[in-house]
Each structure stands twice: as structure tokens, then as C-alpha cells.
Amino acid sequence: MAKVILTPNQTPTLFLEAENITPDVFAGKDAAEIAALHGFVGKTTVTLGDYFTIEGAGGQTAADTTVVINGDVSRVKYIGMKMSAGELIVNGNADMYVGGWMTGGKITVNGDIEAFAGLGMTGGELIVNGNAGNYLGAAYRGDWRGMQGGEIRVSGNAGSDVGTFMRGGTIVVGGNIDVHVGTHMEGGTIIVKGDAKTRVGGQMVKGTIYVYGDIDVMMPGFQYRNDSDLEVDGDKGRFALYEGDMGERHPKKKGEVIYGQLYMKY
Amino acid sequence: MAKIVTDVVCPFCGTLCDDLEVALSDDGKEILEVYNACAIGATKFLHSQASDRLTRPQKKQEDGSWKEVTYDEAADYTAKMLVDAKKPLMYGWSSTSCSAQGVGAEIGEEVGACMDNTATVCHGSTLIAVQDVGVPSATLGEIANRADRVVFWGCNPAHAHPRHMSRYSIFPRGFFTGKGSKSRQMIVVDPRNTDTAKMADVHLQLEQGHDYELLSAIRVAIRGEKLPDVVAGISKEQIYEVADTLKSGRFAVIFFGMGVTHSLGKNHNIDIAISVTRDLNDYTKAAIVPMRGHYNVTGSGQVWGWQFGFPFCLDLTRGFARYNPGDSSSNDLLVRDELDAVFVLGSDPGAHFPVRSVKKIAQLPSVCIDPHITPTSAVSKMHVPVAFVGVEVGGCAYRMDNVPIETKKVVEPPEGMLTDEEFLQLVLNRVRELKGAA
Ligand code: SF4
């Protein structure tokens, strides 16, 4: 697999918008061509070469291209946006929109990321060995399609509004999560291994949420159904099943109403 | 004999009362008395008459003192600042006319600015929610004539919109509401026992920050589903009762304010309040209306909506409009150090923004366009005073229910003073000259 290594050589004074940093765009390009790719700082157009030292070259296709960013890119937005294949590794913190609308491939961030990561993603993997911000795997403003496929794994904590309007795929948060989990959810799975605060599954139509820790305040529209022994993401345990949100519309399947499911671990 | 000007529109709050009468001195130059307005509205008119009012632009000197400059010099400074900046913010736009907002939008497009209005600190969350789930709404006229169930959720019109209840929502005797306030059931939802709450038939004094849960519970109750015994500090019996009251009305309306738009959950609170309204429409007619604060913040959203497709938090830096509150919202931009110049018109972020944002404004090149000396003008590098819209110059404004109303010119501005639209036109011309030269 061909490898491109980007090493940040200066911190942008404002923020760098770099949606060109993906295996898709780098494929078929050598270091000089990659350095000449554009990015934006406010209304000025810059090149990736202005902010990164670039070594290596892209493979023939995205699928055989690995991009490694060695260093802090916490002032760089849109890394890995819309990527479809290949691999992207960030050894440092990254800013907003990491893997937004990605359709395939794998992103690994060894650090923290900001808000709007995995926004509306339809496939691929987004692994965060650190904390994630708000709106992880949510929908872009006004869109009713949040995350629709693929997998997001965060080892640390995640912010608020995770999985808003989510319709498919899986989000696993190893730590705690802030308010509004799976709001307007219509499918997919969210697993929270730590504690949640309030507003879990509000306005939820369909889909599944697992919470291992506590929920501070339960939404009033969830009703207890039963207990069961389950294996979730490799963890065995006894879970209480709640269904809701009773205030929301729900579809029918084979004459039966389908609710959103919230499992709480004992 | 004083001269009386009738049908004057009050340029203060989003109620945009259009029945004011203003008494002028014989020469028509001085405002003597304002009739029909509430105290805050009247003050706005009388304030414009202050004798110590600033009438020319001022530039801050190295030593912190102010030096008078001409409008042309001020326009030149402003244009250069906006053209030179990589990512300027143009903020405010809520206390001016739609035509001035239009010229501002042209400047923003020319210089590739981030543009934001005061919705960002009040009803921006409403705009997000409306985009997410739509909005069943109505005009205040319709409400005055028809609404028999009136909910005030997290708002206190008795103080913030003093004539709202008397003109539109509670007291007017309308076509189908002939008995005035007796035709209506008034429900107030507020953790505090406000003066509005004291007037209510039902006051749901919920626990602070649990609006989302209570609204959700009302949805559950509307559908006749089971509820826990207590939600947000309110008993389930009372929640079922309120749901029934709303369902049994002929026309229910929910007014909501900053108590829900800026407490925990923000847009989600409005989103679910809209959902309650939508649910109620299965049983009766229901509408929801935000209690917008500044008299033309609604218009600013309208103008940008038709010009750029988004009502606030615009990012025009790349030559097309992008929008994502949380990223392109002015407070986030300021706090995250994403900006290198700040332009403010028709608002006072110095007073309304968090201190850490204001500190950033003070550090950056900045221009403030405002008739008054404000906390914002005080930290800006250039202060451009302009005529009062709705007092010294007319122009269109949008009421909180999105009804456009043409405001009226009542008196002349002080000799030689420009309106904000005229000043913006100077800036726009200068921007085009600078860009043409580049
Ligand atoms: S209620 Fe609002 S618009 Fe009406 S007079 Fe008072 S301040 Fe002016």
C-alpha cells in the first residue's frame, strides 16, 4: 500500500479547511502534486504544501493509499471528508468534520476530535482513540439523514447530540456521553459504555441504544418491557429493555408497532 | 398646538406595535410626547432626542482617546478593514431596516465575510429547529381573532413585550374571541413566578432546565400513553389536564422565549415544542410563534433567507453561502480565534456576548455602527453613529410572526448625519473600488 506522510510545519493563524486530505484525492499523485493541492484559510486559497511537509506518494487508487498525518491538526477542518476507501491515520488532535459524509475506508485518530465528525456518514470506519465532540454521527443541519452506515468507535467521552437523526450503522462510545443521545433516531445502534446524562432517545422512532452506566433523568416516554441476558459488543450482561418514545410517531411492521429500544445494563 | 403624527411603528421589540402617536414641536423638529407605546418603546423615541448625542464618526487613537472623522474616512477605514481581513465577521443587523440589511449582504458577499445576527444569542435555536422539523405558525392577527388556548413557555411578555398581551394574545376581543381574556385559557410554563405567570389560569412551575422532558410528557399525554408520576416537577395528573385543555380548544397557540431557546438542549426544546404543536393539529388547530426580541431580527433572517438560503450564521468566505451553527456562529468563531476583523451594526454584542468573546472583539480591528455609545462601540476601533431607523428614517421591518411592516420617519436626524443604509452604500462603493484596483 502506498503511503503519504504529512507533517504539519506551521499552525494556521485562523483555521485551515482541508477537505482535500483524503486517500481519494491523493491517489495517483506524487508528493509535489499533493503539496500543490489547495486548501482555504478564510477567503484566501493556500496549498497543502504551505502547511505540511509531504513525503511519499499516493497509490493508484484510493483503496491502496494510506495517508498519515504526524502532528497536531487541531486547527484543520474537514480531514477525510467524503473519503470512500483507503486509510487515513492522524497522530494528533483534529478539528471539526473528521470523516464527514465518508462512504468507506478507515480513519484512525490517535487524539481528540472536535464536533461534527462522521456527519451523515454512510460507510467505513472512524476510530477515535481519544475524545469526540458534539454531533458525532449526526445529520447536517436541516437534513433528516444522520449517520446511515459504517461504524464509529470512540475510546473516550463524546459530546452532546450524538447520533441525531441517525438511520443506520453503529456508534460505540467507551466513556461518558453528554445530553441528547439518538434524538430523532430512526435506525442503527448506539452503545454507551459509560454514563449518560439526560435526554437519551428523545423523539426516537426506531433503532437501539445501549447504556452500561447511569442515565441521570429518563425520558418520560419510555416504558419498561423486560429483562434479558445479552452480549453487546463483546460484553455480556443483564439488560433492562425500555421502549419509546411513546410521544413520537412509530411505524408498523406486520401489524405490530415498532418502537425505539433502550437497553440499560444492570 | 403640537403636531401629531399617527400610525407610527415602534422600533423596539418584535411586537412592532403600529398604532403609536407622536406629538412633535411646532417646527416638527422635536419629539415631545409618545402615546400608546409602552414605557420601553416610548423611551426609544425620547432617547433619540438626547442633546449629548454623537453625530459624527469617531476613530480611536493610540492613547485610547477618540478623534472625529468624516463619514468618507470612516467608510474608507471600514472598507479597507473588510477587504484586508481573511475572515471578517459582520454581526448584528437586528435593529435596522431590511433595505440596510440588503446592502450589508452585498458587502458581505463582496468581502467574503461571516455574517451573523442577534438570533445567534436568542432565537437561533428556533431557526435550527424550524429547519429540522418545519413550523405550523400563524399571524398575530389570526391569534387575536381565534386563539382560545394561549401558552407562554419560557417567556415573560409582561416585561419583555409589554403590549403583546393587550394587542394580540390575551385581552383583545376578536371575531371569535368576543369576551377578550375570558374567551381564553392562559397557560404559563416558567420555573419562576413571573408577572406573566401571576396572570395565568394555569402556571406549570417546572424544574429549571427540564423543558424538553415536560414537552415530551405532553406529547405522551396527547397520545393517551402512560406517564411516570412526576415529570420535571409536575404531577402526571396536571400534565394530562393541560394536554386535554389544549386538545379541547378551538385554536391553541404556543408562544415561547429565551427561557427555552437558551436553556439546556436549545434547538431540541423548540423542535419538540413544534412537535407538540404538530400533534395538537390532529385534534384542533394549533400554531407556535417565537417571541422575537429585537424589532427586526426576524427581517434579517428573511433578507438572508431569500438572498443566501440561510437565516443566520452565514459563512460567505468561499464565495458561496455555508451555514452550520456551532461552526459558523459568531460566538464560536470569536472564542475559537477564527476571525481577524469584526464589524457590528444594529446590535450590542459588548453587552450580550460572553466576556471572553467581547475580549476577542477588543483585540481585533473593529468597527461599530450604532446611534448610541454602547459597550461594543467602547471596545471598537471606529464608531460610526447613524440616524435611528423607525424614528429618523423609515424602512421595512418584520414582526415576530413574519409580517412585514413599513416603519415611519417621524423627525429629521441631526444635520449632516447619515442613515445606516447610506453609510453602508459608501462602504460598498469603496469596497468595489478597492477590489477593482486589486
Ligand atoms: S410592546 Fe414592543 S413594539 Fe409595542 S410599544 Fe412596547 S416596545 Fe414597542
Averaged pLDDT, B161-179: 94
Residue A46 lies in a domain: no
What is the rounded average pLDDT of the residues B319-339? 95
pTM of the model: 0.95
Q: What is the mean pLDDT of residues B164-180?
A: 94
What is the per-residue pLDDT across B189-229, written as a single tens digit (0 to 9) for each? 999 999 999 999 999 999 999 999 999 999 999 999 999 99
Domain boundaries, position A168: 115-265
What pairs with residue A240 in β-bridges?
A: A227, A264
Distance from CA of B184 to the nearest CA of A (A): 26
User: Which strands form B202-204's sheet, in the order they lie side by side?
Assistant: B202-204, B185-189, B149-153, B251-256, B285-290
Q: What percent of chain B has pLDDT over 70?
A: 99
If you compute the radius of gyration of chain B from its CA atoms, what whole number of angstroms results?
A: 23
Instruction: Kindly tell me the burial class for residue A222, based on how many C-beta atoms sit within 10 Å of its own C-beta (0-12, 13-18, 19 or more).
Output: buried
Residue B132 to residue A14, Cβ atoms within 8 A:
no
Cell numbers given for B4: 401629531
Question: Would the ipTM clear 0.90, i.e. be above it?
Answer: yes
Enter the C-alpha cell of residue A163: 447520533
Q: Is residue A241 in a domain?
A: yes
Nearest CB partner across the interface for B220, out of A96, A184, A220 = A220
Contact A15 B340 (CB under 8 A): no
**Farthest CA pair distance, chain B:** 71
The alpha carbon of B13 and the centre of ligand 1 are apart by a number of angstroms equal to 5
From CA B120, how far away is CA B134, in angstroms rounded?
19
Pocket test for ligand 1, best of B43, B44, B161, B399 (most atoms within 8 A of CB): B161
A113-140 burial: b if 16+ Cβ within 10 Å, else e: bbbbbbbbbbbbbbbbbbbbbbbbbbbb
The C-alpha of B53 sits at a distance from chain A's nearest C-alpha, in angstroms, of 37
Residue among B86, B220, B227 whose CB faces A42 most closely: B86
Q: Whose CA is nearest to atom 2 of ligand 1?
A: B13
Question: Which run of H or of E encompasses B41?
Answer: helix B39-47
Residue A14, in any domain of the structure: no
Q: Cβ atoms within 10 A of the Cβ of B198, count? A: 10
Which chain B residues are closer than 8 Å to A202 by Cβ? Answer: 212, 216, 268, 272
Give the minimum alpha-carbon distance from B342 to chain A in angstroms, rounded to a whole number: 14
Q: Is the pLDDT of residue B1 over 80?
A: no
C-alpha cell at B249: 380548544
pLDDT of residue B48: 83
Q: Which three cell numbers stand for residue A28?
A: 495517483
Residues of chain A with C-beta less than 8 angstroms from the C-beta of B132: 141-142, 144, 165, 184
Residue from B338, B360, B431 to probe the interface with A (highest A Cβ count within 10 Å) = B338
Confidence tier at B438 by pLDDT (50, 70, 90): low
Question: Please, what is the average pLDDT of chain B?
Answer: 94
Question: Distance, CA B200 to ligand 1 centroid (Å)?
Answer: 21
- Each residue's pLDDT tens digit, B262-292: 889 899 999 999 999 999 999 999 999 999 9
Rounded to the nearest angstrom, the minimum Cα separation between B239 and chain A is 12
Q: Is residue A16 part of a domain?
A: no
- For residue B40, the ligand 1 atom closest to its alpha carbon is 7
Nearest CA distance, A25 vs chain B (angstrom): 20
pLDDT computed for residue B262 by the predictor: 87
DSSP B379-435: HSSEEE--PPBTTTB-EEEE-TTS-EEEE---SPPSTTPPPHHHHHHHHHHHHHHHH
Asked if residue A192 belongs to a domain, the reply is yes
Tell me what the mean pLDDT of segment B6-12 comes to: 95
Which tens digit of pLDDT belongs to each residue from B27-53? 888 999 999 999 999 998 988 888 788
Residues of B with Cβ-Cβ distance to A262 under 8 angstroms: none
Q: Is residue A72 part of a domain?
A: no
- Report helix angle B71-84 to B420-437, nearest 10: 50
Q: Hey, are the CB atoms on B86 and A220 less than 8 Å from each other? A: no
- CA neighbours within 13 Å on the CB side: how many for B100? 28
In a domain, A99, yes or no: no
- Give the pLDDT confidence score for residue A129 in this predicted structure: 98
CA of A68 to the centre of ligand 1 (A): 59
Task: For the sheet with B20-24, list strands across it.
Answer: B3-8, B20-24, B31-35
Pocket of ligand 1 (CB under 6 A): B 10, 12-13, 15-17, 37-38, 40-41, 161-163
Q: How many domains does chain A have?
A: 1
Q: Cβ distance B377 to B53 under 8 Å?
A: no
pLDDT at B77 over 90: yes
Backbone angles phi, psi at B236, to 5 degrees: -65, -30
Residues B219, A247: C-beta atoms closer than 8 Å: yes
Band the pLDDT of B11: cuts 50, 70, 90.
Answer: very high
Residue of B47, B155, B163 to test ligand 1 pocket, by largest number of atoms within 8 Å of CB: B163
Residue A42 lies in a domain: no
Closest residue on chain B to A17 (Cα):
B318
The residues facing B230 across adjacent strands are: B235
Digit-by-digit pLDDT tens for chain A (266 residues) are: 899 999 999 999 999 999 999 999 999 999 999 999 999 999 999 999 999 999 999 999 999 999 999 999 999 999 999 999 999 999 999 999 999 999 999 999 999 999 999 999 999 999 999 999 999 999 999 999 999 999 999 999 999 999 999 999 999 999 999 999 999 999 999 999 999 999 999 999 999 999 999 999 999 999 999 999 999 999 999 999 999 999 999 999 999 999 999 999 99
When pLDDT is cut at 50, 70 and 90, the band that residue B121 belongs to is confident
